[in-house]
Amino acid sequence: MTERVVMMRKDAARTVTAYHGTSPENARAILDSGAFRENTWFAYKKWVSLKFGGPIVFVVKLDRAGFRNIDVGPMAAWQFHLREPLSTDVVTHMEGETS
């Protein structure tokens, strides 16, 4: 499968809110390491992250200039992944219990 980079509209908002759903165990690992690993998937809607990721949701705010949205066909309309690790400094809050 060939990846292609999706270009953002020039008039789009500078930041985007995205969601990463995961398991309690993986949430703890993310918090302990202070970063999301490379190729971590994020969704534009919280319900998508819950359905496909897990019961713990990280809500992040990303600067559109600081990431590349990878188009993987029809999924690009509702999710994307980042090619490089991402610091948890972008997390605005987390929903769910990790204990």
CA nearest neighbour of 55 among 63, 45, 47 = 47
**Chain segment 59-74, per-residue pLDDT in tens:** 999 876 665 555 455 5
pTM of the model: 0.77
Measured in residues, the chain has a length of 99
Give the three-state DSSP class for 62. Answer: strand
- Number of helices followed by number of strands (H, E) in the chain: 2, 9
- What percent of the chain clears pLDDT 70, i.e. is strictly above it? 72
Tell how strand 70-71 and strand 79-81 pair up.
Answer: unpaired
Q: Is 51 exposed, middle or buried (0-12, 13-18, 19+ CB in 10 A)?
A: exposed
